[in-house]
Amino acid sequence: MAKILIVEDEEEIAMLERDYLEIEGFQADILSDGDQGERAALTGEYDLILLDLMLPGRSGYEVCRRIRDQIDVPILMVTARTESVDKIRGLGLGADDYISKPFDPAELVARVKAHLSRYQRLTGGRGEEDGAIQIGDLRILPQSWKVLKGEQEIKMPNREFALLKFLAENPNIVFSKERLFEAIWGYDYMGDSATVTVHVGRIRDKIEDDPAHPKIIETVWGAGYRLNRP
């Protein structure tokens, strides 16, 4: 099920948009402020952003540019009647489409669907895979053995992936290096717990925002490692 973020400060319009999207089977979250909207959009959790132009906090112009600079997600800009769509389009904000208020809800839903399917064709679809694990902007897909940070796929050899998957499927539990070694490499494998340290280091370099100060896989001194998942 596609997840849509509605950034809109007029409650009535936001609710109308959400109602129509939910009828069509989409999941929709509403935020009423530009700053919050931008932060939520950048988590990479959403498949499409419905963005109002005039917002408190940070304007839709600014939010659109900043999202576009960092991730590739369809953005539909919703503009007030007084703002000419052609004029706004001319600003080159990088939005995928523009719709002006008041809009016909059926038209809005049709455009949302069109952009979602276009985007899924382009990217091969993020797919709503069973058992997908989301940690901030990190997405682990256990069935297809893929890891995504935002929209970017992270290349990970099998043992690294298996270790990350094991920790992510058993979050907030501290595992000793020995226990992790057994779980991933097995008793018979040549090697020792130092192998785990090396692999955790490599995984952190790929998934942590600041590998020197890891927030996802934390070291618990004298005990082992713990993957933090809210």
Site for Ca ion in 144-203 (CB under 5 A): none
Nearest CB to Ca ion, comparing residues 63 and 207: 63
The one among 4, 6, 9, 108 contacting Ca ion by CB under 5 A? 9
- The torsion region of residue 57 among left (phi > 0), alpha (psi -120 to 50) and beta comes to left
Residue 17, interface with Ca ion (CB under 5 A)?
no
In the shown chain, the binding pattern of residues 53 to 82 toward Ca ion, with x for contact by CB under 5 A and - for none, equals: -x----------------------------
Nearer to Ca ion, 54 or 162 (CB): 54
| Span from 9-17, 144-152, 158-166, 174-182 in contact with Ca ion (CB under 5 A) | 9-17
Q: Which of 47, 52, 137, 160 binds Ca ion (CB under 5 A)?
A: 52
Q: What are phi and psi of 43, to 5 degrees?
A: -70, -20
| Residue count (the chain) | 230
- 12, HSE (Cβ side, Cα atoms, 13 Å): 3
Look at the block and give the residue holding tokens 């109602």.
19
The encoded tokens of residue 229 equal 């998942």
Structure tokens at 158: 């099998």
The nearer residue to Ca ion, 33 or 218, going by C-beta atoms, is 33
Residue 100 phi, psi dihedral angles, 5° rounding: -105, 150
Tell me which residues touch Ca ion (CB under 5 A). 9, 52, 54
